[in-house]
Structure 1
């Protein structure tokens, strides 16, 4: 769980560097450093808990869990409430708070970019709605519903929490693979067959090829003119 939220926090950092702080963001060994942070921080937290109290983790299977999960099998979980709130709740809350800040900054940046383009209001609204939905899922902001699952609306929020977060990976795949035109084109090139298959050399690649040929032709002509003038 800690690793999942750490990686969602790193996704927010990556989004901030890519969309907000665009310039002067070169980081050597970028992916390696992200991997060290993404797996290192959870490992350090769990190790510290075990060093401080070796009995902090243990089997958990009370009557309420047996009733909810319909199972009598115990599973490993934190035994101390203080440890749970410090190492899990506080860590998740801090990560979601940082992700929410990046979420707002990225939306402002997207709005500024969209304002510079001439587009219809309806089309722009659909794109903005898609961006909000995809960013919400990617940054794990749906997990914040768990902090508000109390009171009269607790049952509804718990169902919404389970639905959104259990399908988080599917939503990431939906927004960032299925709904991207360039990804769909690659699928049609490599996976589809028959009339659904897209030729590898599409209009875009042909235009690039023609452009390259024109450039080469101009270079040849310029070289011949230069050699003729020198003669």
Structure 2
């Protein structure tokens, strides 16, 4: 997920400069990289949520070639979408703004408005729905493990934290319209700028509170996920 987000940021920051070169091949390439890394980031949001569920909630999970499978899922799933769009010539320089002085602001992206929203919002919505399902299952499983009813506040904080960590802020950009367009873009920029910091804090507490891993070696004695007894309440504790 970190690699896909770094690739996304690098492609976005260099996009306008490439668009201004008027080199169509370079523009198509940077638009392809930008779109692919964005879809890959969404896919890894889902994989990280799934991994958290397997790591902290499920116990004694046996998955052969676990790392290989999630790597294929994270990097291969977005590829067919990008291939189809580039094959129909969907990536070109798009004019974002033109001032009275004639200065043009442009970037390399999907030229068709409907393809942009249909593909990206549909893909994001699918990932978001899957994360919602995982969050609901986690909440129910935590209640079963605790053997008592958790407070509404703790459940709500757990679910909201999961959403904020794994891509909820992207919905701000996708559903920005009308007079709230510019303010919501600022909100989107601020929230996504601190996403990496929140992920750092999250993984710091997780790795200090729980021990668990998946092995690619089915013969390894450590192949099954081992979770310390003290880590059973880690999901509840970090959201208190």
The question of whether the paired residues in 1 share the 8 Å contact of 2:97 and 2:105 is answered with no
Q: Secondary structure at the match of 2:64?
A: coil
CA distance in 1, matches of 2:192, 2:76: 24
Map of 1:62 onto structure 2: 96
The answer as to 2:50 corresponding to 1:13 is yes
1:175 to 202, 205, 226: 202
Residue pair 1:134, 1:176 contacting (<8 A) in 2 also:
no
Q: Tell me the equivalent position of 1:36.
A: 72
Structure number with the higher helix fraction is: 1
How much is the aligned-residue C-alpha RMSD, in angstroms?
3.4
Distance 2:116 2:207 in 1: 43
Aligned residue number for residue 163 of structure 1: 190
Post-superposition offset of 1:56: 0.8
Distance 1:182 1:111, change over 3 A: same
**Structure of greater relative contact order (alpha carbons < 8 Å, 6+ residues apart):** 2
Secondary structure, in 3 states, of the residue corresponding to 2:63? coil
2:142 pairs with 110, 119, 140, which one?
110
SS at match of 1:63: strand
Q: What SS class does the counterpart of residue 26 from structure 1 fall into?
A: coil
Which 5+ residue runs of structure 1 have no aligned equivalent? 184-231
The offset of 1:109, in angstroms, is 2.4
Distance 1:141 1:109, change over 3 A: farther
Equivalent residue pairs, number: 170
TM-score (norm 1): 0.59
Taking structure 2 as the reference length, the TM-score comes to: 0.57
What's the CA shift for 1:40?
A: 0.7
Give 1:175 shift.
2.3
Structure 2 gaps of 5+ residues are 1-37, 210-240
